[in-house]
Structure 1
Amino acid sequence: MNTLFPIFVKIENLHTLVVGGGYVGLEKVTALLGNSPAARITLVAPEIRTEIEELTHRYPGLTLLREIYQPNHLTDKDLVIVGTNDKAVNRQVQQDCKSLKILVNVADTPDLCDFYLSSVVKKGDLKIAISTNGKSPTFAKRFREVLEEMLPDSLQETLDNLTAIRNKLKGDFQEKLERLNEITKVLK
């Protein structure tokens, strides 16, 4: 049974810690910055890939700490993503986060995750998050690619037009909702 509750987080309003400077760390940092270029991210790892270091030139909110993870790295962090190749470190970070009530994702270890990172379809202001309940991130990625090809580039124009219509509508919330539902029936 899939009991996940999907939300979209304003990640630029949070301070995210990424533990791990290898390929997984690169993937997670790239995903965060790809969705929110102003995201505030601290990455900690004793070794950090060159590609991650290069991102600091384009993203001033990305801070790199070339050191071994310590519990004090969690100070003032709102969200944590762990992706090291050391299961003991991954579990320690997860336990430290739990004790501080910080939400944590441990890559490729669904049992240690409070949340999963979705595969995201982006077409202008439209974002569709895809989750397989932690079962197969690869399937979610492939499904994202299919949806991206299917969705027309003109979706942004449609969204802009609907926003303009919504802003011009008169009446209370219920009246506006009914009118927007009537207008968007053609999308079925």
Structure 2
Amino acid sequence: MNTLFPIFVKAEQLHTLIVGGGYVGLEKATALLGNAPDARVTLVAPFIRDELHAMAREHPKLELIQEPYHEVYLTDKDLVIVGTNDKAVNRQVQADCKARRILVNVADTPDLCDFYLSSVVKKGDLKIAVSTNGKSPTFAKRFREVLEEILPDSLQETLDNLTAIRNQLKGDFVQKMEKLNEITKVLK
């Protein structure tokens, strides 16, 4: 049974630490900054891919520290994502985060995760997060691709129109909800 509670965080209001500068670190930084370009991100690793250096030039709030992980890097961090190929380092970061009550995701190790990173469908202001409870990120990615293909690009216009209608509606909350439900029935 999937007991995950899905949330969307305002990443630009958090300070995220990514541990790992290889392909997984690049993937996580790309996903984070792709959704929240102004997010404050610190990435620490003894080796950092060239693509991450290029990304840091485009994102001034992405700080790269080319050193091995040390618990001092957890100071003032709100969220941690770990993606190294060293299981001992991954477990150490997870233990250090637990001791400080910092939520942590350890890539490809569901048992060490407080949260999972979802596969995200974006169409304008609409975001749909797909999760398999850590069972198959590949399936989540493929399902995201299917949704991206079938959802029309005109969805942003629909959302903008619904916002304008909602802002013009009169009455109490229940009356507004009934009217919006009536208008959106066509989406079934």
Q: Give the TM-score category using the shorter length.
A: over 0.9
Query: What CA deviation, in whole Å up to 9, does each residue of 1:82-131 have, x standing for no partner?
Result: 00000000000000000100000000000000000000000000000000
Give the drift of 1:145. 0.5
Task: Describe the SS at the equivalent of 1:183.
Answer: helix
Tell me which amino acid in the other structure corresponds to 2:135. K
Give the drift of 1:170. 1.1
Aligned to 1:96: 96
Tell me which amino acid in the other structure corresponds to 1:100. R
Aligned to 2:157: 157
For the residues of structure 2 that align with 1:25 and 1:108, how far apart are their CA atoms? 12
Give the drift of 1:173. 1.4
Query: What CA deviation, in whole Å up to 9, does each residue of 1:151-187 have, x standing for no partner?
Result: 0011010000000000111112111111111110010
Task: Describe the SS at the equivalent of 2:4.
Answer: coil
TM-score by length of 2: 0.99
Task: Describe the SS at the equivalent of 1:104.
Answer: strand
For the residues of structure 1 that align with 2:12 and 2:177, how far apart are their CA atoms? 30
Give the drift of 1:147. 0.5
For the residues of structure 1 that align with 2:88 and 2:21, how far apart are their CA atoms? 16
Task: Describe the SS at the equivalent of 1:81.
Answer: strand
Give the drift of 1:57. 1.1
Aligned to 1:72: 72
For structure 2, list consecutive stretches of 5 or more residues without a partner in the other structure. none
Aligned to 2:47: 47
TM-score by length of 1: 0.99
Aligned residues: 188
Q: CA RMSD in A?
A: 0.5
Identity of aligned residues (%): 80
For structure 1, list consecutive stretches of 5 or more residues without a partner in the other structure. none
Task: Describe the SS at the equivalent of 1:117.
Answer: coil
Tell me which amino acid in the other structure corresponds to 1:179. K
Aligned to 2:106: 106
Aligned to 1:14: 14
For the residues of structure 2 that align with 1:67 and 1:56, how far apart are their CA atoms? 16
Aligned to 1:137: 137
Aligned to 2:172: 172
Structure 1 stretches (4+) deviating beyond 4 angstroms?
Answer: none
Aligned to 1:87: 87
